[in-house]
Structures are given as structure tokens and as C-alpha cells.
Structure 1
Amino acid sequence: MDHNFTRLLDTLAALPAHPIKLSTPQILQRLQGKGHNATLRTLQRDLNALSGHYPDIVKLEGKPAQWGWREGAPVLFLSQMGLPQALAFDLFAREFAPVMPDELQALLKPWLQEAGRKLASAPREHASQWAKKIAIHHDGPPLLPARPLPATWAQVSKALFEGKQIKAQYRAAQKPDAKTYVLNPLGLLRRSLVSYLVATFDGHHDPRLLALHRLDKVQLLDDPAQVPIGFDLNTYLSQDRLNIASGQTLALELHLTRGAAEHLQDTPLSQDQTIEDLPEQAHWVCVRATVSESPRLVWWILGFGKRARVIGPERLVKQVQELRG
């Protein structure tokens, strides 16, 4: 096969979607990573030729020049997006777009637009109607997500990608003033409507969770991030960190009305959960389970109001009583 042909295809694939633009040296690095021995002069000639055939290619003059696709440009697929992929993108957008940072939405916009065009052109009696038969509903009031500053998201993402440290100001919850830290970014996670940076800092060797929207004035450093030996994000999450737990477990004993406990039959609190009727109390059950100790657990119990009574352990009984007043 003509090497020029494969090089041109890979050059098109290397162009970033709006709003990102890459310089010619950056695009050349991508091509060289795929095994092409192109020179900067050859790449510049190829880009000028391709932009003549594809008006959606944008060139920003400068030294060096920057290239990318214009806003709203259709995604250039080497193989056509099928209906299953279009439906997957549609469901993804409906589920995650409300909580995704604006920068991520901008990067995914060309693919989501292409999925919309594919669904719009599909026969009405086929898969184009399937998306209208799927609804997504979340419990609780429709709260708006916490939004990190655009500059914060950009710098944190770059630090994670390049494995670098960052310097940033962080204001902890219930604290009036921010403090400056040098952070070792380890990963990002999403819990409900808040994004968290997993990082070590300030002499702490154990990873901590920092709310991304509380970070400000983020500066990317040249020093590599110091990753704890054996750290793995999936293992970290499996330790119930999403609950921002204390690391302790407790043997929960909770009396619930039968109606309040009904959903626990399908979505149990733990593998060892048991639910037993309370003969002396009509329409009430006793739930026992080993769970992580966390503020989230307390507020979950409080959400049941008078339909829940904490029996044990004693420290949890006191916490709930104090908050109920």
C-alpha cells in the first residue's frame, strides 16, 4: 500500500476536535508515534493539501501554526457510525452530560452531533424510535452539579496525563481560607454531583479526596508526581472511598417500616445483610448489615425520618439522635 496514503489518513486522524488545536510539531510527534518517518516540511505540505479538500480543517497562523477541526465539523469516521453506536452515544449524553465538565462536553460534541444526525436519518420504525423509549430518572431533587473552574480542570487533567505534580490553593469545607499545597495527582472520580481529585500532599502518604471545585490557581509543575508504592485507583475505590468513609466498619442494626425497607431486598446494604420481621411491631422489620462508617450513612438514615430507628451500635444511635434534636 502507498505509504503516502496511510500517512495522510493518520494525519487526518491526528487533527483534534474543536476547541483544541495542535501545532505542527505536536502533530508530527503523533505521526512518528505511528511509525511514519515524515519531516516537518512534509507534514506542512500535507496539511495545506488536506485543508484544500476538507474545508472544516482550521489553521491558526503562528510560529508554529496550529491545526484542528472547526466547531460543528462532522466527525470524520474511517468506518461509518452504526445505529448501535449512535444509540450508545445518545444514552451516554443523557446520563452524563448534566454532570460532565464543560471542557469534556466540548471535546465530545462532534461525536454526539454525529450520533444525533445518524438517529435523525434512521427509519422511523427502526432504532431512531428506540431512544425515545428509554427514560433515565434519579432519586432526589434535581440538584445542579458542582462546577470546577475551566482552568482547574484543564491543568489537573494535564497533570494526570503527564504524571506531574501541581501547586494549587484548596479551601476545605467549612473553612474560610484557602491554603496552598503541592499535590501529587493520582486519579479523578465522580460521586453524585461532585468531582474529586485523588492525591497525596503535605506529608500525607495516604491518598486523600479533594473536591475539584474547591481547587483554584492550579499550576502545573515540572516535578513528576510521587505515586505511593502499589497504589491502584480501582483498589482504592473498592475500599468504599466513594462514601468518604472513616475506614471503619460497623455492625448496623436498624428498624425500618416494611415499606421503607422494601428496596433493600433488591439493593442490599452488604453481602451479609439480613431482614427479619419484628413480631412485636406490626409492619416493621429489623435490618442487620456490616457497613462502612461515614457521614453518608447517617444522612441516609435521617432521610427515612420516623420510619427508621437505629438500634446499634451505640455511637451511631447518638449521632442520629443529636442530628434529629
Structure 2
Amino acid sequence: MASKDSMFRQWNMLRLVPRAPLSITAAEITERLAQAEYPIDKRTVERDLKALESLFPLLVDESAKPFKWSWRRDGAIFSLPGMSVPEALTLTMVEQHLQRQLPPSTLDALQPHFSAAAQTLAAIDDRTQTKAWLGKVRSIPSAQPLLPAEVDEQCQRTVYDALMKDRQLKLHYQKRDGSALTVYEAVHPLAIVQKAGTVYLVCMFSDYEDARTIALHRVKQAEMLYLEARRKAGFDIDAFIAQGQFGIANGGEIRLQAVFARAAGEHLAETPLSKDQVLYSESADHLRLIATVPRTRALTWWLLGFGDGVVVHEPADLREEIKQTAQRMAAAYQDKS
């Protein structure tokens, strides 16, 4: 009886054979199997193909070398129960990183695939290059990480389903001040935006045309209505974000000029602030930055995060804003005892 490794290899081999008139050679299969963590020589692949030819609707073109293999054009569709190691890695990373972006119905449909991916990776050695990748890659936020806001799972499912199906919602919403629940009878969902640990629903209320945002974790009850949601004419989620609703942009573009302490600003030589950025030595210890950037709250917070490691020179209103903030901070830290 073939070993488990041999069976996995042969399953993946069959998955690589395209339906006629497309074809693949044994050498190409050997290379693809090696990429999928099944290193094997071409002679073994050729022997496997000859053995599988008697069991599956495979065709081999022996008119010229290298021989070319195909799945018969009229051959029955054959769905193999296994998945390749690269596919398992991809699905595992999707499960880890896209949980809050995908609609629950899609996640439900993917659960069997997530389980199969876990089983596929569990069946191979931890030292296998593809499996080891999971322990070698991390994505970390540039700002202080926050725990995600706790969202009611059923409310999230209802909101996402309504967005996908373009249906209206009835929402019971808890405002930040903790007052009594506000009931929105007709909510027209437009988009979902995730910023750091918070998920926002972009929507319209009742007959109003302006797009608003509400934090999904403050939705305490959600009901999808059997009424078609209105679509805002010309609505574009990227344009909406660029208008400054999430601190991405709010005051047009500015020509930023600032002097950084060298230790604070050196990273900008490798990760520029803008495509037109100019960065040069002001002195042995300082760098001058000139860049065209959007005027955003995020930009202000970023600059403040350097403390005395940066001095903004232009524009004047941004310089004044940071100056006043620094003065208030200094006053707050004065010892009043």
C-alpha cells in the first residue's frame, strides 16, 4: 500500500494535470511538486503518471519529447479530497488575517477549507519550508496596538449580510456616552471600513443622502429588513475615506517642511513620506525634510510622536498647532504639589 506521503504526492500530481488541449510535462510536474514541498525525481513522476493512467482519464502525447500529459477533454470531473501545501498555507493565513474583512457567510463556506488546511499542515513535518513560514512572518502595527473592540457576533453577521445583499437594516445603537439605546428604523449600508481595532459601518439613515459612520461594536441589536437598500449616487468608498472621515485626509495637501534629529528621521531615507520627498543633511545631527503630504490628524499625531526629535517649520498653521499642543503638554506635566 502506498504511504501517506506518496498518496498526497500523487493527489497533487493529478491536480497539476490540465484538461486537454492544455498539457504539462513530467519535468514541469517535478518542478511544481518541489515547490509544493514534495521533492522527487522526474523518473518517479513518470512512473506515477504511467500507473495513474490506468485509473484516471489521462492522455499522453508521445509524438515528441518531452512527453506531454493532459486530462481527457471529455473525462469526468474529479475532485480530489486533498489540498496542496501552498494552498493550505494561503488559507491558514487568510483565516488568521482576514476574519474581520470577510462576510460571515463567506467565512462559513470556507470553514471546511480552513479545517482541511489545518489537517494538511498538521500532516507534514514542522521543518518543512512552507509550514515553517507560519512561524517566520509577522505583521505588526506602526502605532501602539489596541485590543479590538468587542463586536456582537450575530449583529456583525446581520450587518455584513445586509451589506452584501443590499438590504436595509434596523439597528439598536449604544452611543459612546452610554445613554439609552437609539433605534434607527431604516439604515442603508454602503461599506465596511476597519481602522486599527475598530470596524465601522458606512451608511445612510432613512431618507437622508449624506453618508455617516457608526462603530459596529456599539450596535446592540440588528435586524435585516426585506427592503432594498438605497445606494448613494456616485458613492466611492476610497473617495469617502479621502475626505477625512477616518483621519486619512481632512485638509487637502500641504508642503511640509520640518527638521528632524538625525536618529529620528534617518528611516525616512528608506521609507519616504511622499514620492516627491527631499531629505538632506541640515547639520551633523539634523536632517531637513520637504514633502507634499495630505493634511491629516494622523500626520499631526505622527509628528507629535517624535517629541523634541522634530521641529515643523511649514506650513505655519501646522507649526502653530503643534506648538500649542506642546505648550499644553508641558503645562500638564508641571509639578503642582
TM-score class, shorter: 0.5 to 0.7
> Which 4+ runs in 1 deviate beyond 6 A?
none
Structure 2 CA distance, aligned partners of 1:316 and 1:148?
36
| Equivalence map 1:140-159=2 (5 Å) | 140-159=143-162
Where does residue 315 of structure 2 map in the other structure? 313
3-state secondary structure, aligned to 2:249: coil
Report if aligned partners of 2:105, 2:161 keep a CA contact under 8 Å in 1: no
Q: Does 1:233 align with 2:257?
A: no
Where does residue 165 of structure 1 map in the other structure? 168
2:130 partner amino acid: A
Aligned pair partner of 2:275 in 252, 271, 274: 271
Structure 1 CA distance, aligned partners of 2:155 and 2:166?
16
For residue 184 of structure 1, report the CA deviation from its aligned partner: 1.6
Q: Structure 1 pair 101/234, CA: closer, same or farther in 2 (3 Å)?
A: closer
3-state secondary structure, aligned to 1:267: coil
Report if aligned partners of 2:173, 2:219 keep a CA contact under 8 Å in 1: yes
Aligned pair partner of 1:323 in 322, 325, 332: 325
Where does residue 263 of structure 2 map in the other structure? 259
For residue 86 of structure 1, report the CA deviation from its aligned partner: 0.8
Structure 2 CA distance, aligned partners of 1:322 and 1:109?
52
Structure 2 CA distance, aligned partners of 1:202 and 1:298?
35
Report if aligned partners of 2:188, 2:206 keep a CA contact under 8 Å in 1: no
Aligned pair partner of 1:283 in 285, 290, 298: 285
1:294 partner amino acid: T
Structure 2 CA distance, aligned partners of 1:204 and 1:268?
41
| Equivalence map 1:11-160=2 (5 Å) | 78=80, 80-96=82-98, 107=108, 108-123=110-125, 124-160=127-163
Aligned pair partner of 1:221 in 225, 236, 248: 225
Structure 2 CA distance, aligned partners of 1:263 and 1:316?
22
Give unmatched runs, 5+ long, in structure 1.
1-76
Structure 1 CA distance, aligned partners of 2:180 and 2:320?
31
3-state secondary structure, aligned to 1:153: helix
Q: 309-318 or 156-165: which moved more?
A: 309-318
Q: 166-175 or 291-300: which moved more?
A: 166-175
Per-residue deviation, residues 223-243 of structure 1 (Å, max 9, x unmatched): 322212222334545667553
Per-residue deviation, residues 42-89 of structure 1 (Å, max 9, x unmatched): xxxxxxxxxxxxxxxxxxxxxxxxxxxxxxxxxxx7553111111112
Q: Structure 1 pair 268/216, CA: closer, same or farther in 2 (3 Å)?
A: farther
How many residues are paired up? 246
Give unmatched runs, 5+ long, in structure 2.
1-78, 329-337
Q: 112-121 or 226-235: which moved more?
A: 226-235
1:131 partner amino acid: L
Structure 2 CA distance, aligned partners of 1:142 and 1:104?
28
Structure 1 CA distance, aligned partners of 2:268 and 2:154?
42
Provide the identity percentage.
Answer: 29
Report if aligned partners of 1:101, 1:147 keep a CA contact under 8 Å in 2: no
Q: Structure 1 pair 136/127, CA: closer, same or farther in 2 (3 Å)?
A: same
Q: Structure 1 pair 141/93, CA: closer, same or farther in 2 (3 Å)?
A: farther
Q: 126-135 or 99-108: which moved more?
A: 99-108
1:300 partner amino acid: W
Q: Structure 1 pair 125/188, CA: closer, same or farther in 2 (3 Å)?
A: closer
Report if aligned partners of 1:196, 1:209 keep a CA contact under 8 Å in 2: yes
Structure 2 CA distance, aligned partners of 1:217 and 1:154?
11
Per-residue deviation, residues 172-210 of structure 1 (Å, max 9, x unmatched): 556856544332211112122111112123665343332
Larger Rg: 2
For the aligned residue pairs, the C-alpha RMSD in angstroms reads 3.2
